[in-house]
Structure 1
Amino acid sequence: MARRLVGLLLAATAVLGASTAPAQAAADFTGIVALNNCSGSLVRLPDSAPRDKALVLTNGHCVELMKAGQVIVDRPVSRSFSLLDASGTKIATLTAAKLAYATMTGTDAALYQLDTTYGDLQEKHGTRALELSATRPVADTEISVVSGYWKRVYTCRIDGFVHQVKEADWTWDDSLRYTPDCDTIGGTSGSPVIDTTNGKVVGVNNTGNESGGRCTMNNPCEVDADGNVTVHKGTNYAQQTFGFVACFGPGTTLDLSRPGCTIAKP
């Protein structure tokens, strides 16, 4: 997971004009944003209205390396995001007024609330937000992992689901495993995982086993329901996002007491 944060170091290299960044892929970056250290996306709920304040999805570890059990809710912030157009060109700087939710417990996800609405984004920039799927994805689904940081798209399939992925002090439940073509790298943290059949977001990219280590930093392991541990060097993972849909009420207001909301609570 921490290797996904090497974008902080790579960014400095990129500014100096280095040519070592991954090549761009021909894809649509509509709704994609870049953070200073990670990737992210503009997302909306299935019933979001144009007047609702827009949300940005990324990883919890892109906020900070939180302690196991830590959950952040409704924290005032001022964080900027680079909004990309379909070709990957920056067209605006967006600002978050609030960190609506962030955790590295059970999942590795964060949702920022912007100071602008979905309608404003459409009117000013001609952009749309990606819809969060309200249903659990299925194995073998074709997906795209879209990195705003690198302006690169990875395409592969959902290889399957893991009872638990453990990395250092963190445990993530029902994680999504990619087939090998999604060989994501540092800076891709927070990229949306998009079901290519319907364009909906089904996950958020967050980690991969780098060198074959067992349940250590940068080397997550898989734990099945019986407690058996396996290691898959080079395999990359994402966290599912359908569970967030039940946790937001009208106006993209977070309400952890809503029926069906099962994400970690403070």
Structure 2
Amino acid sequence: MRKPLVVALCALAMAGAGAAPAVAAEPSPTGADTATGSGPTTVTDVVDGVVGTAADTLSGLTAPKAGAVNFAGTVSLSNCSGSVVRMPGSADDDPALVLTNGHCLESGFPAPGQVLVDRASSRSFGLLNSSGSRVATLRANRLVYATMTDTDAAIYRLGTTYAQIKSAYGIDALTLSGTRPQAGTAISVVSGYWKRIYSCSVDGFVYRMKEGDWTWKDSVRYTPACDTIGGTSGSPVVDDATGQVVAVNNTGNEDGERCTVNNPCEVDENGAVTVRQGINYAQQTYRFPACFGVDNRLDLSASGCLLPKP
């Protein structure tokens, strides 16, 4: 979970080792939510945030082009990236939702098999406009769903609606696609933490991906151009053609190790293991829309909802 995920931090935290490597020494990204004084925190984020350098960050800043994928609707967390999202059937007066990684929770990594539902939260998010400038601080009132089992995702509910955000800041939420992406799809990984956009394509899909004690199903593998770093965990993966979110960025193999924290491995249907050092991954999000109904209410018993349950 090194580059996109932060599994390493999760493992450290869950093992009682305390916080991951001190990210306080990491240069603070411009516009990041630093209220808590912490740096990147994903399996990719926590460890990744320590790996990146100031030069890497500055050289990676990307100004959006007209008509291209930009930063509007993305958010910065204290330790990760994220985005304000809506389901295909969401209404403008529904409470807005924020998508990030399960390993980006302020409370630490969910244990294997653990699913968190409907928890109180007052987490804050820095809302970015199209150019990457922070225009507002949004605040959650609930953690709707979070897990690191089968997938690595968390969804928060805000105290404001999509219409209120649009009226106040002129920013629309990103729509989660209800369709599985295809290999070869041109994508952009948009990091609100670093204000950096990575462009590449879907290289393929991983039957099972293992990192430390966690296992994810049907993960997205990027082509090498998406060389994500710590702090990018939770970034929306946007289909360049449709502008819709098809995955959430979460990890990468940093050191070439086999199935260890920050060094995920690929496992095929026959159990064969493949290690791809330097390659990064995301978790598909097309399963989420079927689990949300009227008023953006989570319903894990809804027909077609295949998300892990508590």
In structure 1, the partner of 2:27 is 14
5+ long unaligned stretches in structure 2: 10-19, 31-52, 65-69
Matched-pair contact (CA < 8 Å) for 1:22–1:150:
no
Of the three residues 101, 105, 109, the one matched with 1:59 is 101
Equivalent residues of 1:91, 1:125 under 8 A apart? yes
The 10-residue stretch of structure 1 (19-28 or 228-237) with the greater mean CA deviation from structure 2: 19-28
Name the amino acid aligned to 1:260.
G
SS of 1:157's equivalent?
Answer: strand
Q: Which residue of structure 1 lines up, in the alignment, with residue 125 of structure 2?
A: 81
Q: How far did 1:2 drift?
A: 4.8
Deviations 1:94-147 (A, max 9, x none): 000000000000000000000000000000111100000000000000000000
Q: Is 2:87 aligned against 1:45?
A: yes
Instruction: Give the drift of 1:194.
Output: 0.2
Q: Which amino acid aligns with 1:62?
A: C
Distance 1:47 1:244 in 2: 12
The CA deviation string for residues 203-256 of structure 1, in whole angstroms up to 9 with x for no partner, is 000000000000000100000011111100001000000000100001110000
The alpha-carbon distance between structure 1 residues 26 and 39, as it changes in their structure 2 partners (threshold 3 A), is: same
Between the aligned partners of 1:217 and 1:205, the Cα distance in structure 2 is 16
Distance 1:230 1:84 in 2: 37
Question: CA, structure 1 residues 215+152, in 2 after alignment: closer, same or farther (shift >3 Å)?
Answer: same
Aligned equivalent of 1:33, options 60, 72, 75 = 75
TM-score of the superposed pair, with normalisation by structure 2 = 0.83
* Pair 1:146–1:11, CA change in 2 (3 A): farther
Q: Which amino acid is 2:299 matched to?
A: D
Q: How does 1:44-193 map to 2 (within 5 A)?
A: 44-63=86-105, 64-193=108-237
Paired amino acid for 2:208: Q
Task: Note the aligned Cα RMSD (angstroms).
Answer: 1.7
Over the matched positions of the two proteins, sequence identity in percent amounts to 59
Check conservation: 2:29, 2:193, Cα contact below 8 A: no
Deviations 1:75-104 (A, max 9, x none): 011100000011000000000000000000
Contact persistence 2:150–2:215 (CA under 8 A): yes
Displacement of 1:178 in angstroms is: 0.1
Tell me, yes or no, if structure 1 residue 240 matches structure 2 residue 253. no
In the superposition, relative to structure 1, how do residues 16 and 101 fare at CA in structure 2: closer, same or farther (>3 Å)?
Answer: closer
TM-score by length of 1: 0.96
1:11 positional shift:
6.0
Paired residues, number: 266
Deviation at 1:22, TM superposition (A): 4.0
User: Residue 25 of structure 1 aligns to which amino acid in structure 2?
Assistant: T
Unpaired runs of 5+ residues, structure 1, are none
- What secondary structure sits across from 1:40 in the alignment? strand
Displacement of 1:66? 1.3
Report the 3-state secondary structure (helix = DSSP H, G, I; strand = E; otherwise coil) of the residue aligned with 1:114. strand
Tell me the SS of whatever aligns to 2:26: helix
Partner Cα separation in structure 1 for residue 163 and residue 184 of structure 2: 35
> How far apart are 1:16 and its partner, in Å?
9.7
Q: Which amino acid aligns with 2:63?
A: A
Equivalent-residue separation in structure 1 for 2:213 and 2:280 (angstroms): 18
Runs of 4+ in 1 over 2 A off after TM superposition: 2-23
Hey, what does 2:263 align to over in structure 1?
219
Partner AA of 1:221 in structure 2? C
Contact 1:44 1:54 in 2 (8 A): yes
